[in-house]
Structure 1
């Protein structure tokens, strides 16, 4: 998992997030917690798009470098800097798994409704479950 800096902004009863080293990648939420939770997800999605399009990923700047950037200075007037995490996509690996036939059909219907492949749907579900387990404070 890679890291970069994000800026959390309070905007009109909601919160926005931007990433100085990833221009155009933004998200937000009704609460700080929601905006920060979505930040990692949106950044990972943005990076995956860059990789798929053959774009070079930026080198994340240091805090000192960011503090010297006039645009970041302006954003920090009403914002707070935080560390955001993202995954860089790796090579897909084919696996063979067994699942209940009804469950496979339900997965296929759900994936189709959101225009995803079965593999993408199951990968997203696995990522979300892993995040739940990693961030679960009770276990």
Structure 2
């Protein structure tokens, strides 16, 4: 099991949007209405597909070399990258305990306001790292 994967994907422009195919990952077939969403959907679908293969004990193939893939007239070859550790952790919904420091006056104000420190830290990290929930 590797932590980092890069697989080629074929993006095909169609009338209703973009369809995506991963030649090395049969059944991983996301789609999107525009290029930005297509890139995001391709990565998310590949992460889910690889995670499912890992969970099922399937062997993950080596990616076909970029220069060995033929594309058609309305197709573009795109390399999609997946870093598995944070995705795996998110799928298992495992929590870890962190110790942090903050000024006592902020702590007092936050406790008085009934702030959930864990929720605020999670929301701030998701925003800061531009992650999807």
TM band (smaller chain): 0.5 to 0.7
**Unaligned stretches of 5+ residues in structure 1:** 67-72, 105-121, 134-139
**Structure 2 spans left out of the alignment, 5+ residues:** 100-114
- Aligned pairs, how many? 107
Question: Structure 1 segments of 4 or more deviating over 4 A?
Answer: 89-94, 101-104, 125-131
Q: Secondary structure at the match of 2:79?
A: strand
Shift of 1:94: 5.9
In the alignment, what sits opposite 2:59? 56
How far apart in 1 are the matches of 2:21 and 2:124?
26
Separation in structure 1 between the aligned mates of residue 22 and residue 124 of structure 2, nearest angstrom: 26
Matched, 1:132 2:130: yes
Query: Contact 1:17–1:36 (CA<8 Å) still a contact in 2?
Result: no
Larger helix share, 1 or 2: 1
129 and 2 in structure 1: CA distance in 2 versus 1, 3 angstrom threshold: farther
TM-score of the superposed pair, with normalisation by structure 2 = 0.64
CA RMSD of aligned residues (A): 3.3
Instruction: Give the structure-1-normalised TM-score.
Output: 0.61
Alignment of 1:22-41 (within 5 A): 22-41=25-44
